[in-house]
Amino acid sequence: MEYLEYPDNAKVWIYQSNKHLDADEITYLKVQLDDFLTTWESHGKMLTATSEVFYGLFVVFFVDEEGDTMCGRAQDASVHLMKKLEEELEVTFLDRMVQSYKKGEKVEVVRMADYEALIESKEIDENTIVYNNMITTKIDFENHWEVPMKDSWHKQLIPLK
């Protein structure tokens, strides 16, 4: 995975689909992402960037800013791409209320509002692996993206006993 060569402070953006993508959708998505990355620039300079699709669900951009902060227009370009892909694939990538947790080897997709019922039914608990899509650096991605609920911002969704 190319992103592993990026510095720890490389910027990260995570977009989660509201459903698992099939093999054809992932292939299409990767082609679109690769095409985008060949023209993605900031301040008139090509960005050193890559993307990965994890679990057929998460699109993750990694950008090595090389000491130069990305401009707002470059960030907007990635959001515009994801909106376009939402329409083409008939999914959502920009709904932050869509969350995920790990059940065995499978990643389950849920609405944030469903966490309380999942906890009450003991489907999940504080040790369930959740995905912190709010992280912003490669080092955080490697260490804090997949974490037990008790170690994530998700812990606020656990009802007080």
Q: From 106, 121, 136, 135, select the one nearest 152 (Cα to Cα).
A: 135
The contacts of residue 56 (CB under 8 Å, 6+ apart) are 20, 21, 22, 26
Confidence label for 67 from pLDDT (cuts 50, 70 and 90): low
* Residue 160 pLDDT > 80: no
pLDDT value, residue 159 = 63
Q: From 14, 10, 12, select the one nearest 64 (Cα to Cα).
A: 10
Question: Which pTM value belongs to this model?
Answer: 0.91
* Residue 119 pLDDT > 80: yes
CA dihedral 127, 97, 104, 130 (to 10 degrees): -30
d(CA 150, CA 153): 8
